[in-house]
Amino acid sequence: MTTCGETSLLREEEYVTDAVDHRGFSARRSNTRRWRADIFVLAGVEVAERFAHYGIGSNLISYLTGPLGQSTAVAAANVNAWSGISTILPVLGAFVADAFLGRYRTIIIASLIYVLGLAFLTSSAFMIPNTTEVTSSPSSFVNALFFFSLYLVAIGQSGHKPCVQAFGADQFDEKNLQEYRDRSSFFNWWYFSICAGISLVILVVVYIQEYVSWALGFGIPCVFMVISLVLFVLGRRLYRYSKRRQVEETNPFTRIGRVFLLAFKNQRLSSSELCIAELEANPSQDSPEELSFLNKALLVPNDGEMSCKSRDVEDATALVKLIPVWLTTLSYAIPYAQYMTFFTKQGVTMERTIFPGVMIPPASLQALISLSIIVFVLIYDRVLVPMGKSITKDPCGITTLKRIGTGMVIATLTMVVAALVESKRLKTAKEHGLIDQPNITGPMSIWWLFPQYILLGLADLHTLVGMQEFFYSQVPTELRSIGMALYLSALGVGSLLSSLLISLIDLTTGGDAGDSWFNSNLNRAHLDYFYYLLAVVSAVGFFTFLFISRSYTYRRVDGV
């Protein structure tokens, strides 16, 4: 015979806190399956979206310098600009999801916009001769349609990217110890799955674009996105959905914004009043002086307006503490932006026969990033994490900030290796009299580029996955989409900074008419100088990150 207390405990174990099922009732653990639900999320939308994104981005620089007739520097700036904007816009999509629509509805609407953009992109490719060589510039209408389509895809990504991964992580209850541990593994296996999709698109779609048809190469991802959306909707009965905010409850952006407003209004109140208010509102707080400016929102203003709750101040404080960490990750995002542009252009000038009779498109080497992640995720999750748990006693093996920092060190090494390889390539071109013959493939094998791609994959496994988990877990629960958007926006701003840096260096060093680091004739360019510069930027960013992360205090989660 069970007592009332035991019945209550069983009920707590049976139902998931703060989650509902597709009918709006409290979500039962037995009916809403964690990993089973995420299969639909992964196969339904995320793998297909990455397939579509990389189906466009991985070989975009070849399309811009070929059929669209742009110079190397302009094309690289355009790729970085599109990549940057498409990863900054998710901040807007996340706001719409967290404040109004919810993640599920936002994913549906964003996917439809995404499909429309891909359809227009495919149509624009049909209007241009299929070649990777410059023939004649396309009409203004075709150019306009292409870039309109490209940025329509970016708008689709704005609602898609921050919500899908957050929605997948929502399937795990962080207040349940086992599910909390599973959620950490989820971020590893999530990246493993999308890397498998990325490898497929780079090996198959890039080949189709180079040797069959650009229109077909853009059209295949469009079809995949349509099929994936259908699969995602079919899994709706298995999903856990965040509880909708009641009408009388305040929008999370409003209540957190009010903290900053009241803190500003109360800035002249005495410190003695502030300490008393802090201790009364949160007697367990260890350091009442931390961000005391925001803690002034706990005081009642002179005009009699109601003060903020301690939870609101804690949530606002958590967001402010993320800003320095976010800023330091930009030093990783700038080197990260290069693999879609200059790494690919390097490969164009090299001998691409990897086996007798087998020649690969240079953009296909990007698959090495995904393949290295696929291999090392298995090692990381099954070997390194258990070893880390036994040493550090951390449920995740190492903290997310240590994981991010490790990747930043590897990224610095990647840029040094890339610079050394490029110096070797330039020396080889000079020795064989190819300085003014950019269209002739040099004798140096494309195998030389393998190390920098593999190292970048290792860096991604640590820094990108670490950033995903860190920003998701350190924001207030209602703002999880914003958390994912913060991670994406760091990559976006990094791409834009890379674009700006390229333009400034190209202007300073004289463009194609001078000794530009990014001369369209790569045998006269100096990508090695650029890579060394990025290595310095990455190293400085790492030491700044190390200084900031040592004083960071992680957000507390009840029940874990």
Handedness of CA 486, 492, 494, 496 (dihedral sign): negative
| % helix, strand, coil for the chain, step of 5 | 70, 5, 25
pLDDT digits (tens, 9 = 90+) for 478-518: 888 888 888 888 988 888 898 889 889 988 887 656 678 88
Q: Residue 427 has which token pair?
A: 């020396």
Of the pLDDT bands very low, low, confident and very high (cuts 50, 70, 90), residue 554 is confident
- Other CB atoms within a 10 A radius of the CB of residue 202 amount to 25
Of the pLDDT bands very low, low, confident and very high (cuts 50, 70, 90), residue 250 is low
pLDDT digits (tens, 9 = 90+) for 74-110: 888 888 889 888 888 988 998 888 888 888 899 999 9
Q: Measuring CA to CA, how many Å separate 341 from each of 196, 237, 306, 416?
A: 21, 42, 54, 17
Least confident among 58-72, 233-247, 442-456: 233-247
pLDDT digits (tens, 9 = 90+) for 294-310: 887 777 666 566 778 88
Listed residue (102, 106, 103, 150) closest to 125, CA to CA: 150
pLDDT digits (tens, 9 = 90+) for 389-438: 777 777 667 889 999 999 999 999 999 999 999 999 999 988 888 888 87
Q: Residue 325 has which token pair?
A: 């960490």
pLDDT of residue 248: 45
Q: Buried b vs exposed e over 219-234: b needs ≥16 C-beta within 10 Å?
A: bbbbebbeebbebbee
Highest mean pLDDT among 6-20, 472-486, 535-549: 535-549
